[in-house]
Amino acid sequence: MKNNIEFYNSISGRKETFKPINSSQVLLYGCGPTVYDAPHLGNFRTFVFYDLTIRVLELNDFSVKSVINITDIDDKIISRANSEKVAYDKITSKYESIFIDQWKRLNNQLPTHFIRATENISEMISFIEDLLSNNFAYVVNGSVYFDSKNSKIDYDKFVSNEEIHKDQNSEKKFQSDFALWKAWKKEDEEIFWDSPWGKGRPAWHTECSVIASNFLGNSIDIHCGGIDLKFPHHQNESVQVEALSKKIFTRYWLHSEHLLLEEDKMSKSLGNILSVQSLEEEFSLESIRLFLMTAHYRSKITFNKNLLIESQKMISKIERFIDNFNLRLDSKKFKNYDFVNEEIDFINALNDDLNTPKALGVFFNFINDFNKKNNSSAGNLKNAEREKAESFINLFNSVFQCLSVGKSNPLSDNIKDLLQTREQARAEKNWELADQVRDSLSNLGWIVEDTPKGPKVIRKK
């Protein structure tokens, strides 16, 4: 079911109907983390947006080849390695592992490729040599710069001319030029690679240009990133590739807005960050993921714990709906199913530039109407109604991924053992022990409701 999808193209400044270069496969690139520290919640707003984009494309029956880079050589990495007096790759391997672990635990699909910059140094050197041989670059004191004037860059499509002159570097011919290769300096110590221009390392813009073009080709469908990367990073990526290929590098540029903390963007440099790990002490990972999608990706969102509480309540409402009607979660359940009007509205909302707030509204309206119509009871539910509810639940979860597939309330062995202990205590009329176990379950985030059919546990709101 390939439907029309519209994306807001950051370069044209308008929504455009998505038409991939090749109808059989979408080529998507996303800028990944610089692994000198653990990623924060603001980083994951962007990374969850990548996952959302891929899931919506796949919902519309597009195959997606996705590449996300890992910047594992950079000034900040060198600085941290030297200050801690450890090898730089010990720093990068530690924080790459944390990043990928949190990526998975937030229910993001793995991309087709995670690519480390340091695994492609020789390709980057060859790429820079090609730019030099075509007079699109020049060497100064062992550093290589892109020649913006000779390449006839069209900066206006990315940024106003006033911003070009912010970077003052006396080595460059023009302030709009930028580094392709950075010469070794004393503070780099033992961190360098040999090149035709001497010891040094590739610059950030070149890393992404080479990784994207090597693994996806000189023309790709979608390039994703945070809005702060639009200039200069994405502009500089684009012009390098286009100078050599004479082709449009990226057809659709998608940029997500900032996550704010007290009106400032969440940023390590500003020191105002929240980690996913710290939030896990109070909130489920599913509620964190849902929170990151409650606002449209192109809208700023200000962090507020009340918003996370609301996301947790939304998940609890869905779980109660699943329990009340004995619905089953199955990631393939909605496939090959004739969608009803509400599901079509849900898909259309997502296809309208990933409008998650509208899609959530459609979904919860369906739950509310279904509850009213069926009196919140599974007793007399017709098979057709059950199929409709299960289809929509699984359609919803195929994109939002905030429910556990396989059973409605997944209980760990520890929770099951506590419930069994409590039931045994109640049978023996050991009310003190039963109450103690109930308190233990509450501390673990579960509420026990005693019903005529036995105990029922639900997550805390």
Q: What is the pLDDT of residues 87-116, one digit of tens each?
A: 999 999 999 999 999 999 999 999 999 999
Structure tokens at 194: 């040999």
**246 and 288 both lie in a single domain:** no
Residue 408 is predicted with a pLDDT of: 42
Residue 406 is predicted with a pLDDT of: 42
Q: What is the pLDDT of residues 16-54, one digit of tens each?
A: 999 999 988 999 999 999 999 999 999 999 999 999 999
The domain of 455 spans: 413-459
Q: Do the domain assignments include residue 394?
A: yes
Across 219-245, average pLDDT: 96
Last residue of a domain, one of 226, 256, 286: 256
Q: Do the domain assignments include residue 267?
A: no
Q: Which residues pair with 402 in a beta bridge?
A: none
Residue 178 makes CB contacts below 8 A (sequence gap 6+) with 145, 146, 148, 167, 172, 203, 205, 232, 236
**21 and 92 both lie in a single domain:** yes
Structure tokens at 238: 């684009």
Helix-, strand-, coil-residue percentages of the chain, each rounded to 5: 45, 15, 35
Contact 106, 285 (CB under 8 A): yes
What confidence category does residue 270 fall into, taking pLDDT thresholds of 50, 70 and 90? low
Q: Do the domain assignments include residue 269?
A: no
Residue 363 is predicted with a pLDDT of: 98
Structure tokens at 271: 């020191």
**215 and 288 both lie in a single domain:** no
Q: Do the domain assignments include residue 47?
A: yes
Q: Do the domain assignments include residue 212?
A: yes
Residue 161, pLDDT above cutoff 60: no
Residue 409 is predicted with a pLDDT of: 46
DSSP 8-state code for residue 118: G
Domain count along the chain: 3
**181 and 283 both lie in a single domain:** no
Selection from 159-173, 263-277, 353-367 with the highest mean pLDDT = 353-367
Residue 269, pLDDT above cutoff 70: no
Neighbours of 316 (CB within 10 A): 17
**192 and 103 both lie in a single domain:** yes
Residue 257 makes CB contacts below 8 A (sequence gap 6+) with 227, 297, 298, 299, 300, 301
| Gap between the Cα atoms of 383 and 71, Å rounded | 51
Contact 181, 143 (CB under 8 A): yes
Q: Do the domain assignments include residue 206?
A: yes
Q: What percent of the chain has pLDDT over 90?
A: 67
**117 and 248 both lie in a single domain:** yes
What confidence category does residue 336 fall into, taking pLDDT thresholds of 50, 70 and 90? low
Contact 271, 264 (CB under 8 A): no
Residue 404 is predicted with a pLDDT of: 75
Q: What is the pLDDT of residues 304-325, one digit of tens each?
A: 999 999 999 999 999 999 988 8
**252 and 281 both lie in a single domain:** no
Q: Do the domain assignments include residue 266?
A: no
Question: Residue 39, Cα to own-chain centre: how many angstroms?
Answer: 11
Residue 29 is predicted with a pLDDT of: 98
**What CATH number does residue 295 fall under?**
1.20.120.640
**396 and 418 both lie in a single domain:** no
Distances, alpha carbon 109 to alpha carbons 101, 104, 283, 391, in Å: 12, 7, 21, 21
The 10 Å CB-count burial string (b at 16+, else e) for 217-249 is bbbbbbbbbbbebbbbbbbbbbbbbbbbeeeeb
Question: Residue 312, Cα to own-chain centre: how many angstroms?
Answer: 19
Mean residue pLDDT of the chain comes to: 89
Residue 196 is predicted with a pLDDT of: 98
Q: What is the pLDDT of residues 114-157, one digit of tens each?
A: 999 999 999 999 999 999 999 999 999 999 999 998 877 666 65
Provide the 3-class DSSP secondary structure of residue 185. Answer: coil
**129 and 237 both lie in a single domain:** yes
Residue 162, pLDDT above cutoff 60: no
Of 13-17, 59-63, 235-239, 404-408, minimum mean pLDDT range: 404-408
**189 and 130 both lie in a single domain:** yes
| Gap between the Cα atoms of 63 and 46, Å rounded | 21
**139 and 251 both lie in a single domain:** yes
Last residue of a domain, one of 350, 378, 400: 400
Name the residue among 258, 193, 198, 189 with its Cα closest to residue 230.
Answer: 258
DSSP 8-state code for residue 231: I
Contact 171, 143 (CB under 8 A): yes
DSSP 8-state code for residue 352: B
Last residue of a domain, one of 223, 256, 289: 256
**What CATH number does residue 51 fall under?**
3.40.50.620
pTM: 0.85
**364 and 455 both lie in a single domain:** no
Residue 328 is predicted with a pLDDT of: 87
Residue 155 makes CB contacts below 8 A (sequence gap 6+) with 148, 161, 164, 176, 235
Q: Do the domain assignments include residue 363?
A: yes
Structure tokens at 251: 């057809």
| Gap between the Cα atoms of 385 and 52, Å rounded | 28
